[in-house]
């Protein structure tokens, strides 16, 4: 347990948490929406700090981060809790589980990452915003030890915490669901408003963090091509057409078992739409087959990938070896350990 960052004390022993856009006002003895920040005697504590529920070694491509440190392995950690309540959560045993994980200090997490042969650490599986203090302390030590740090996040975080951790973050994947359609997110994820997600993406970009965007397409309820087009337009006009974009296939899980997996044709339609609007790096997730990266200028294959595994990186000092154009692939100073 550690005193939380980003909160203020109010009258009558209440506190206001300013970490995420819920901005919960919490009475003494109560917890915020995420279930892991508790007001004890007028002080807000992060209960996540001593509750690491999973550690695992993954390919960085599994996050998914395709244009960042390709071919490396990342030490993935999480704690229970989430500030969203997705009815279809693929990791619901972790995100909605009780506290009761292991107490692992930031130093020990970094040691574990280094001894596993990982090139970096990913704060993932559940929402890293809600275990911010653990991620923040760990990320600082990880950088001192030459490891990268990446967030796999729903982007539901306030600007100030983004700015504070950004110097220690190297890559971020922001997970949209249903292309950010507000009605869908309200009903299926309990999200009060989507605007803060766009704001946090801008903050990550402005801070110089490599950003990729994913969009889980859920058949029947979250597969509107109009919403997908809106998301593509927002990306291309804001962060830009070089932002990697992943369309993910939905599989029934948790409380949504009556919706079938996303048809591959729907995902292809989204990919073709994004490419027709000039997006340069568009991928499909949870779909078998080739998923390589090509130079936007000449079409030369610059990263060869089979599903989520990089098998070859063909770059010349960050440029296409065929035409010499620069490409948006970050973190090339980290190679597989």
Q: Which residues bind ligand SF4 (CB under 6 A)?
A: 17, 19-20, 22-24, 32-34, 37, 83, 130
Are the C-beta atoms of 176 and 215 separated by less than 8 Å? Answer: yes
Q: CB nearer to ligand SF4: give 83 or 119.
A: 83
Q: CB nearer to ligand SF4: give 20 or 152.
A: 20
Q: CB nearer to ligand SF4: give 162 or 241.
A: 162
Query: Measured at CB, which residue is nearest to ligand SF4?
Result: 32
CB of 225 to ligand SF4, least distance (A): 32
CB of 190 to ligand SF4, least distance (A): 11
Are the C-beta atoms of 258 and 266 separated by less than 8 Å? Answer: no
CB of 235 to ligand SF4, least distance (A): 25
Q: CB nearer to ligand SF4: give 37 or 210.
A: 37
CA angle 266, 269, 180 (to 5 degrees): 75
Q: CB nearer to ligand SF4: give 16 or 277.
A: 16
End-to-end CA separation in angstroms for the chain = 33
With H, G, I as helix, E, B as strand and everything else as coil, classify residue 255: coil
Chain-centroid distance of CA 281 in Å reads 17
Q: CB nearer to ligand SF4: give 15 or 259.
A: 15
Nearest to 18 by CA among 42, 47, 44: 44
Beta bridge partners of 268: none
Only one residue has tokens 């996540």, namely 48
CB of 303 to ligand SF4, least distance (A): 36
Q: CB nearer to ligand SF4: give 61 or 127.
A: 127
As to burial, measured by CB atoms within 10 angstroms (0-12 exposed, 13-18 middle, 19+ buried), residue 115 is exposed
Strand ranges inside the chain, DSSP E: 2-3, 7-9, 15-17, 25-26, 37-40, 43-46, 54-59, 73-78, 120-123, 148-153, 171-177, 210-217, 245-249, 282-285, 293-294, 301-306, 309-313
- How much is the CA Rg of the chain, to the nearest whole Å? 20
CB of 263 to ligand SF4, least distance (A): 34
Nearest-10 crossing angle of helices 106-116, 132-144: 50
CB of 265 to ligand SF4, least distance (A): 37
**Whole-number Å distance between alpha carbons of 61 and 198:** 23
CB of 72 to ligand SF4, least distance (A): 30
Are the C-beta atoms of 15 and 43 separated by less than 8 Å? Answer: yes
Q: CB nearer to ligand SF4: give 35 or 106.
A: 35
CB of 32 to ligand SF4, least distance (A): 2
């Amino acid at each position: 347990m550690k005193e939380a960052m980003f909160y203020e004390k109010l009258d009558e022993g209440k506190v206001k948490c300013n970490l995420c856009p819920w901005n919960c006002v919490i009475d003494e003895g109560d917890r915020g929406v995420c279930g892991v920040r508790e007001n004890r005697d007028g002080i807000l504590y992060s209960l996540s700090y001593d509750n690491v529920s999973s550690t695992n070694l993954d390919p960085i491509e599994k996050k998914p981060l395709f244009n960042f440190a390709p071919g490396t392995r990342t030490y993935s950690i999480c704690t229970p809790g989430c500030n969203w309540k997705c009815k279809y959560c693929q990791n619901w045993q972790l995100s909605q589980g009780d506290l009761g994980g292991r107490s692992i200090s930031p130093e020990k997490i970094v040691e574990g990452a280094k001894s596993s042969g990982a090139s970096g650490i990913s704060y993932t599986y559940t929402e890293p915003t809600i275990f911010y203090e653990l991620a923040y302390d760990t990320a600082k030590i990880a950088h001192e030890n030459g490891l990268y740090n990446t967030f796999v996040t729903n982007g539901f975080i306030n600007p100030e915490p983004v700015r504070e951790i950004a110097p220690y973050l190297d890559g971020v994947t922001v997970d949209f669901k249903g292309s950010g359609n507000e009605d869908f997110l309200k009903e299926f994820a309990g999200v009060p408003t989507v605007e803060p997600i766009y704001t946090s993406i801008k903050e990550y970009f402005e801070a110089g963090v490599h950003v990729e965007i994913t969009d889980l397409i859920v058949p029947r309820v979250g597969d509107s091509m109009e919403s997908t087009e809106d998301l593509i337009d927002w990306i291309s006009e804001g962060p830009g057409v070089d932002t990697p974009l992943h369309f993910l296939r939905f599989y029934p899980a948790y409380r949504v078992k009556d919706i079938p997996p996303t048809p591959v044709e729907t995902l292809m339609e989204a990919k073709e739409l994004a490419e027709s609007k000039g997006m340069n790096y568009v991928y499909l997730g949870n779909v078998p087959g080739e998923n390589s990266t090509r130079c936007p200028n000449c079409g030369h294959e610059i990263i060869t990938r089979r599903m989520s595994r990089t098998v070859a990186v063909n770059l010349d000092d960050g440029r296409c070896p065929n035409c010499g154009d620069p490409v948006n692939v970050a973190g090339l100073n980290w190679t597989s350990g």
